[in-house]
Amino acid sequence: MTRIFSGVKPTGHLTLGNYLGAIRRWVEVDQHRADALFCVVDLHALTVEHDPARLRRLSRQAATLLLAAGLDPERCTVFVQSQVDEHTRLAYLLECTASDGELRRMIQYKEKAEAARRSGDGVRLSLLTYPVLMAADILAYGADEVPVGDDQAQHVELTRDLAVRFNQRYGHTFTVPKATHPRVAARIMDLQDPLSKMGKSHESGAGIVYLLDDPDQVRRKVMRAVTDSGTSVVYDREVSPGVANLLEILAACSGGDPEELAGVYESYGALKRAVADAVVELLRPVRERHAELAADPGYLDEVLRKGAGRAGELARPRVDAAYAAIGLLPG
C-alpha cells in the first residue's frame, strides 16, 4: 500500500494557503487511498525566534485543526514530531550524508536567514539544517509520496537526493519519495502582496486568511486584496498576479478552472465578493468543528498519544536499519 507522509509547522496560525495547498487534499484524498501519516512538525518551529508557551498553544491548535479539517484518526496517523524520537535519531545520520553547500542553496534558508538578520535576531544553526530533519521525517516512514504546496518542492528534492546517496553508499535502506502538488492553489499568495507567498509567520496578517478567522475578517481581507490598475478580469500571473491569485483561490474552493472563471466576472468587485463567499463557506465547518474539539482537550491528547505510538513502531525498524547500514554497533 502506498505510504504518505506530510506535516505542518506550528510557527503561526494555519492559513488558507496551508489548507488549499496541503491539508484539504490530505483530508479528501490521501487518507482514503493510502497508509497516511500527518504530523505537527514542532521541532521545525524551533528554527526561528519562538516563545515556548506560544509554541505549545500553536502545536495543539494545529493538531486540533487537522482533525477539524477532517483527518480521521481511525483512517490515518496524526501525531506530533517531537513525541517520536526516531526523527532526530535519523536526522543526524542524514546530516552525515548531506553537504553544507546543498543546504545553503535552500531558498527558505536564504529568505528566513535574511529576515532573521534584518530583525537583529541571530540565525539559528537549525534553520540551515532543518531540511535534513524534514528528510528524516519522510524517510523514517518509507513514504512514497509527500503531498505539499509548491514552496516545499525543493526540500522534497533534497530528501530524494539524500535517500539515493545513502542507498548508494550503504546499501538499499530508504524508499525514494516524490512530492505531489495540488492542481490549483499550489502557491497561494499574500492578498496584500501577491508576489509573496501567503505565509503564517508573516508579521502583518492583513493579507493572510487564517483558518480560524471569523466570516467578517475573511470578507474584509478579501475585499481589500490588492489587484491592479486594470479593470478586466484575466488570469495572468505575470501581468495581474493579485487577480490571478483570487481566481486560483476561487477555483480551489469551487473545483473550477481559474481561466474559465475569469470569463464569468465583469469586475474586480464581483470577483472579490464571490471569493469571499466561497472562502467563508469553505472554512465555516472547519471553524465549527475546531470549537467542538477544543472543548475536549482529552480527546486530542488520546489521538496524539496513539498516533505517536503507531508512528514510533513504524519508524523504528527502518531507522535501526540505517544505523546498522552506516556502520554503528547495534544497541
Nearer to ligand AQP, 182 or 307 (CB): 182
DSSP 83: G
Which of positions 220-279 make contact with ligand AQP (CB under 6 A)? Answer: none
CA distance 33 to 44: 28
Which of positions 121-160 make contact with ligand AQP (CB under 6 A)? Answer: 148-149, 151-152
User: Cell numbers 531507522 label which residue?
Assistant: 319
Residue 65 beta carbon to ligand AQP: minimum distance, rounded to whole angstroms: 11
Instruction: Name the packing angle between helices 297-326 and 153-170 (round to 10°).
Output: 40
Among residues 187, 221, 290, 318, the one that binds ligand AQP under rule CB under 6 A: 187
Q: Using the rule CB under 6 A, is 13 a contact of ligand AQP?
A: no
Q: Using the rule CB under 6 A, is 22 a contact of ligand AQP?
A: yes
Catalytic residue numbers read: 112, 197, 200
Residue 138 beta carbon to ligand AQP: minimum distance, rounded to whole angstroms: 12
The C-alpha cell that represents 139 in the structure block:
524517510
CA distance 266 to 247: 13
Residue 16 beta carbon to ligand AQP: minimum distance, rounded to whole angstroms: 8
Part of the chain binding ligand AQP (CB under 6 A), chosen from 90-98, 119-127, 186-194, 301-309: 186-194
Q: Using the rule CB under 6 A, is 98 a contact of ligand AQP?
A: no
Q: Are the C-beta atoms of residues 37 and 141 closer than 8 Å to each other? A: yes
Q: Using the rule CB under 6 A, is 87 a contact of ligand AQP?
A: no
Among residues 4, 5, 13, 15, the one that binds ligand AQP under rule CB under 6 A: 15
* Other Cβ atoms within 10 Å of 64 Cβ, number: 23
Residue 171 beta carbon to ligand AQP: minimum distance, rounded to whole angstroms: 31
Helices (H) and strands (E) in the chain, counts: 14, 5
Residue 320 beta carbon to ligand AQP: minimum distance, rounded to whole angstroms: 27
User: Cell numbers 517531537 label which residue?
Assistant: 82
Q: Using the rule CB under 6 A, is 81 a contact of ligand AQP?
A: no
Q: Using the rule CB under 6 A, is 197 a contact of ligand AQP?
A: yes
Nearer to ligand AQP, 22 or 67 (CB): 22
Q: Using the rule CB under 6 A, is 219 a contact of ligand AQP?
A: no
Nearer to ligand AQP, 40 or 293 (CB): 40
User: What H or E segment, with its residue span, contains residue 315?
Assistant: helix 297-326
**Cβ density class 132-167: b for 16+ within 10 Å, e for less:** bbbbbbbbbbbbbbbbbbebbbbbbebbbbbbeebe
Residue 163 beta carbon to ligand AQP: minimum distance, rounded to whole angstroms: 19
Contacting residues for 46 by C-beta, under 8 A, at least 6 apart: 55, 124, 126
Q: How far apart are the first and last CA of the chain?
A: 31
SS3 36: strand
Residues in the chain: 331
The residues of the shown chain that bind ligand AQP, judged by CB under 6 A, are: 8-9, 11-12, 15, 17-18, 21-22, 148-149, 151-152, 185-188, 197-201
